[in-house]
Structure 1
Amino acid sequence: MDSLDQMLSMLLDGAVEVLDISPDLYDGAVERYEEVGTWLAEHGSPGWQIYPQGSFRLGTVVRPGTPGGEYDIDLVCRLPLHHESTTQERLKQRVGEQLVAYRRWKKDQGHTDAPESLEARRRCWTLGYPGFHLDVLPAIPDDEHLPTGIRLTDKDLWEWQRSNPIGYADWFRGRSDLSTRILEKRHANVADVPIWHVRSPLQRVVQILKWHCMIMFANDPDNRPPSILITTLAGHAYNGEEDLFTAVRSVLDNMPRFISKTNGKWWVANPAHEEENFTDKWNEYPERRKAFNAWFTDIDTTMSELAHMEGKGLDTVYERLAKSFDRDPVLHSYKRYAASIGAATDNRMGATGRLSPTAAGPRKPSHTFYGQHSSARD
């Protein structure tokens, strides 16, 4: 008989597996990325480089938490320019012109897979497709943090912002201790999106934390803790646990130790670029920190309560999970696990008192914490 930790690990893993992007949609997103990247590399000036960043690169994609929500794949378009030879506005315009040309070419050729939309956003250009969108981030090398540091455009900020997506992905991969395979390159300057055939415990932990966060802030996206902050704290806090539920509990126990206050400012540094602070908005909008604390308290309480359900049975554990997480993925995992141990999951309440599939626990209500600042989106 499985222990409580084993039961919870299998239920959580089975549920979050449902939230992974489907193979067909993943392949479609990668195909579009490669085509856009190849276009930019071939039609831009020599030396343009395009590579993915964010959850696609890290292997921590989670299905959008709102109806009609889209997956997104984040791309960096790096031009070999010195920051004194251009401006943020000119850089963004230059990349945008090539994307406009790409979209026009697709339409002129009669291709049915042309981007449905092209929109300029605060830091990037967004190409819209059915079910997902590509965010293309114009960037140049950061000569103070070579070879992989970059400077970013931001229409709301005068100074160049800095980051290091490649260095961050290398750090996260090291923390997850998972070897990855990279697809064969189709273009010399287009780095392929890594395909994670098997998720590491850390990747699953991050997916679980992001999933809970999306549900909790479904109606308050402005105050939702950024995924990069959750991912970074989880990466620091992970100690190599192989059991998923044990890993989640350990990460939650350790996460607060990696939040510091430096010179009166809250600080969680990018581990690949110490000058980038993932809690910078906390200092400007204190409600963001309060929202993070509310989320952390909620999921920590959930996991603590689950850890004390020894002897309660599968049905009770399922009910508790369904109250804090999305019902459908939990139900899918519950039914699969129940089948594996020979427990009934139909509508008949037998002597075991198993919960029927139609008697799911209520979905956790969404909360709005401490107001909104629509002008201060992450």
Structure 2
Amino acid sequence: MTNDPMDVLSALLAGAVDILDIPDDIRDAAVTRYEHVGTHLATSGGPEWSIYPQGSFITGTVIRPPTSASEYDIDLVCHHDIEKESITQAVLKKQVGAMLEEYYDLCTSEASPYAPDDYFEKRRCWTLAYDGVGFHLDVLPAIPDLGLKRSRNGILLTDTKLRPWQHGNPKDYAIWFRNRSEEMRRKLELKARAANVAAVPDWAVRSTLQRLVQVLKWHAYLAFADDVDDRPPSVLVTTLAASAYRGGENLGHALLDVVERMPDHIDQVNGRWEVLNPAHEKENFCDKWNEPDTAHRRLKFMAWHKKVRRDVKLAHDTRDAGIDVLVDRLSASFGQEVLRKSAARWAATTTGLRDTGRLTIAASTGALGVGLGRRSPTHTFFGREDS
């Protein structure tokens, strides 16, 4: 701890993110199952088929579902190494569906512990449901995007409602995201050295950038709880946050700076709104803002950004009023249950400092710190003294 009141806000939000993060057992179960599916695809279809994660799972920014009835949604790319001229979207989608049906039947007949509970088709993917484990895998059929000259990692994706192939580049996007944070790269290198391996996945560490993305995503989840269709896409929030991030390892300070600067990375070109994929210039993460039926989503995004900016500013202005005040002020936007649990954990970590007389309270503000002000009295929770 330090005597910087902003550290109390950082500790509160970081603790909330720890609670919201995907549990190790669910993450490990997801990895085991998509590797099992991938092995089947390679065996059934041949070496030109592969499967790998994309999105929040690969960047290490997954957060728990907003309701107890929801599941973790994990995106996978099912990659068929074939040229665009040799296949159509419909055929590729059907091929992947057939192999997943074969996989489902095989696992079910063998009573495999990795058997999905169900599988079904969606607009851009096939879904493998694992109800008993609390997540589902969305499998997106893809082929190489040979038109992306700067990288071999570009992909073309299917969409049953759109004629053109959709562009993407999840592998290089993850690299771009990692490179936005020197702290993240440093922690990954240390983790790899400790494990004596060449590299470790991004979710193996927690950096300030990852945490602030998770904080913003959770805020959006709650703000759009009754309007899920218009909720800003996770990748849009992640891209704007990572683009605006200028380093720093204090979550409170970084979040305040990032939220202020996010709109600077939204462009309007020839009357069209753009937040381009930094790893593929043909993928626009806010393309729905340019379509008549969904143009209202830009206004809803801006209204959400105004709200999160106001909430973060309120937290900043209240940062030296004590953790109980912070919890009360932020509960409406970030969830009372999560914040109270975070505050309780934070309070528990201060017990040792308080018992040794190192935890103090600033006379003018009541802020907790180390080595300054008067000694903090013993308490049970939120400042209530023991009787």
**TM-score band w.r.t. shorter chain:** 0.7 to 0.9
Moved more, 334-343 or 5-14: 334-343
- 2:347 maps to amino acid: A
In the other structure, the counterpart of 1:59 is 60
Find out whether 1:245 has 2:255 as its counterpart.
no
| C-alpha distance in 2 between matches for 1:148 and 1:196 | 20
Q: Give the aligned residue type for 2:29.
A: G
Q: Which residue of 2 aligns with 1:162?
A: 167
Aligned to 1:296: 305
Report the CA distance between 1:338 and its aligned residue.
2.3
Task: Specify the alignment match of 2:347 in structure 1.
Answer: 338
In the alignment, which residue of structure 1 is the partner of 2:143? 140
Find the counterpart in structure 2 of residue 204 from structure 1.
211
The share of aligned pairs that are identical, in percent, is: 48
Contact kept in structure 2, 1:4 and 1:307, CA below 8 Å: no
From the CA coordinates, give the structure whose radius of gyration is larger: 2
Q: Distance in 2 between matches of 1:143 and 1:347?
A: 59
Letter in 1 for 2:224: F
Deviation at 1:339, TM superposition (A): 3.0
* Alpha carbons 2:126, 2:139 under 8 Å: kept: yes
Contact (CA 8 Å) 1:152, 1:163: kept in 2 or not?
A: yes
Cα displacement string for residues 294-313 of structure 1 (whole angstroms, at most 9, x for unaligned residues): 11111100111111125422
Aligned-partner residue type, residue 134 of structure 1:
L
Q: CA deviation at 1:161?
A: 0.8
CA contact (8 A) 1:171 1:272 kept: yes
Distance 2:382 2:11 in 1: 23
Structure 2 vs 1, CA of residues 156 and 214 (structure 1 numbering), >3 Å: closer, same or farther? same
Contact 1:4 1:309 (C-alpha < 8 Å) held by counterparts: no
Of the candidates 171, 175, 179, which is equivalent to residue 174 of structure 1? 179
Task: Report the Cα offset of residue 349 of structure 1.
Answer: 4.7
| 1:118–1:127 CA contact under 8 A, matched in 2 | yes
In 1, Cα distance between the equivalents of 2:121 and 2:290?
27
Q: 1:360 maps to which residue?
A: none
Q: 2:263 maps to which residue? A: 256
SS at match of 2:61: coil
- Give the conservation status (yes or no) of the 8 Å contact 1:172–1:235: yes
Is the 1:30–1:193 contact (alpha carbons within 8 Å) kept by the matching residues of 2? no
Contact 1:57 1:193 in 2 (8 A): no
Counterpart residue type for residue 277 of structure 1: N
- Count the aligned residue pairs: 343
C-alpha contact (below 8 Å) 2:245/2:258 kept by paired residues: yes
Q: CA deviation at 1:219?
A: 1.3
SS in 2 for 1:341: helix
Partner residue in 1 for 2:338: 329
2:228 aligned partner: 221
Q: 1:317 aligns with which of 310, 321, 326?
A: 326
* Cα distance in 2 between the residues matched to 1:38 and 1:297: 46
